[in-house]
């Protein structure tokens, strides 16, 4: 009687780049199966029922008569053929096709800048996200991912980027919804990975560096006097840094009444008074005001205060009281 052969169900579905093990159940009623001549043929072929064994290739990893291993490199179906012949010349053949399954990648978003873990970030924050931690379970795909970022801004407009990094400046307050979908080489997409970032309302500028450092300043009539703002902290328009912030200088005689705007210099961080403009006993007040690109209502400030505080810690002006000795 001739032998029989049947290709078994696989222990797991083949995946590209991974070893797939194929087994067969072989039986010969006339002799031990160990003495049978068993040949495995395996290769990629979509027409397994009619494929010539020469077009497949012999199994390079035949561990035993009843097992063959193969590493698929793509998603073309695998054709497996087992031929069995006994010592009397009787033979049997089994054929079976196996689909190579593509598994979906996994998208991972990591924010790399700012590294702060604060739930709310300042306006004008430069945000950078990376998708480099995204993975694919198929070895042939893990280094061949493409990236599709979608950033939904607070006004519902969208930004799209297609590199491993996603970066943008948060120019509006509100919630930014960041989504990443990664796709492997066979165009299998991942489930979307998402993260939300909340951007705070615009904060008023804060004059943090100025000279003289003491708002109550003593000067001498015969000498030149200089006032300088050296730094301003601001989410939108810090100084130095932004070109959108505006300096305004003004002064008044004494410590009450209206301030008079100084027309020169225009938008400078420095104001100079020459010698002999004042006499001993004069008292004046000099004010430097800084405005970012957002409109502020200075009427809420105490006009006689040395600093304008719209929110705690934020000063939009500094006033020097100068006594000439």
In the 8-state DSSP scheme, what is residue 212? S
DSSP string of 10-61?
Answer: PSS---TTS-EEEEEEEE-TTS-GGGSEEEEEEEE-S-TTT--HHHH-B-TE
At 46 the pLDDT is 78
Residue 169: pLDDT over 90:
yes
Tens-digit pLDDT profile for residues 52-63: 988 898 887 777
Residue 239: pLDDT over 70:
yes
Q: Write down the CATH number for the domain with range 110-199.
A: 2.60.40.10
Tens-digit pLDDT profile for residues 183-194: 998 899 999 999
At 193 the pLDDT is 98
At 28 the pLDDT is 85
At 199 the pLDDT is 96
Could you tell me which of 84, 78, 94, 93 has the C-alpha nearest to residue 18? 78
At 98 the pLDDT is 93
Contacts of 254 (CB under 8 A, 6+ apart): 283, 284, 285
At 57 the pLDDT is 86
pTM higher than 0.85, yes or no? no
Q: Is 63 helix (H, G, I), strand (E, B) or coil?
A: strand
Q: What is the mean pLDDT of residues 202-217?
A: 94
Tens-digit pLDDT profile for residues 270-311: 999 999 899 999 999 999 999 998 878 888 888 888 999 888
* Residues carrying CATH 2.60.40.10, the chain: 110-199
At 116 the pLDDT is 83
Architecture of domain 206-324: Sandwich (2.60)
For 283-315, b/e burial (b = at least 16 CB within 10 A) is ebbbbbbbbbebebeeeebeeeeebbbbeeebb
Residue 241: pLDDT over 80:
yes
Contacts of 295 (CB under 8 A, 6+ apart): none
Where does the pLDDT of residue 158 fall: very low under 50, low under 70, confident under 90, or very high at 90 and above? very high
Residue 30: pLDDT over 80:
no
**198 or 27, which is more confident?**
198
At 33 the pLDDT is 56
Fold observed for domain 4-98 = Immunoglobulin-like (2.60.40)
At 138 the pLDDT is 83
């Amino acid at each position: 009687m001739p032998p029989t052969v049947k290709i078994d169900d696989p222990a797991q579905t083949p995946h590209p780049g991974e070893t797939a093990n194929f087994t067969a159940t072989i039986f010969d009623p006339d002799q031990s199966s160990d003495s049978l001549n068993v040949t495995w043929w395996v290769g990629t072929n979509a027409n397994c029922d009619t494929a010539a064994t020469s077009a497949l290739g012999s199994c390079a990893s035949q561990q035993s008569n009843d097992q063959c291993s193969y590493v698929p490199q793509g998603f073309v179906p695998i054709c497996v053929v087992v031929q069995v012949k006994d010592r009397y010349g009787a033979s049997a053949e089994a054929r079976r096709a196996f689909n190579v399954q593509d598994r979906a990648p996994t998208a991972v978003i990591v924010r790399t800048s700012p590294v702060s873990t604060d739930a709310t970030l300042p306006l004008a924050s430069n945000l950078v996200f990376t998708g480099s931690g995204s993975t694919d379970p198929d070895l042939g795909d893990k280094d061949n991912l493409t990236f599709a970022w979608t950033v939904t801004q607070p006004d519902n407009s969208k930004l799209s980027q297609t590199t491993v990094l996603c970066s943008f400046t948060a120019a509006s307050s509100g919630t930014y919804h960041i989504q990443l979908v990664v796709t492997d080489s066979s165009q299998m997409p991942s489930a979307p990975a998402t993260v939300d970032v909340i951007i705070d309302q615009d904060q008023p500028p804060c004059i943090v560096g100025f000279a003289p450092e003491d708002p109550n300043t003593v000067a001498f009539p015969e000498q030149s006097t200089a006032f300088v703002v050296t730094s301003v902290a601001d989410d939108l328009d810090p100084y130095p840094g932004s070109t959108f912030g505006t300096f305004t200088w003004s002064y008044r005689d004494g410590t009450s009444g209206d301030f008079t705007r100084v027309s020169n210099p225009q938008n400078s961080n420095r104001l100079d008074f020459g010698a002999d403009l004042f006499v001993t006993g004069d008292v004046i007040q000099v004010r430097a005001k800084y405005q970012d690109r957002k409109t502020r209502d200075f009427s809420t400030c105490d006009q006689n205060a040395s600093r304008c505080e719209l929110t705690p810690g934020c000063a939009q002006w500094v006033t020097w009281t100068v006594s000439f000795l």
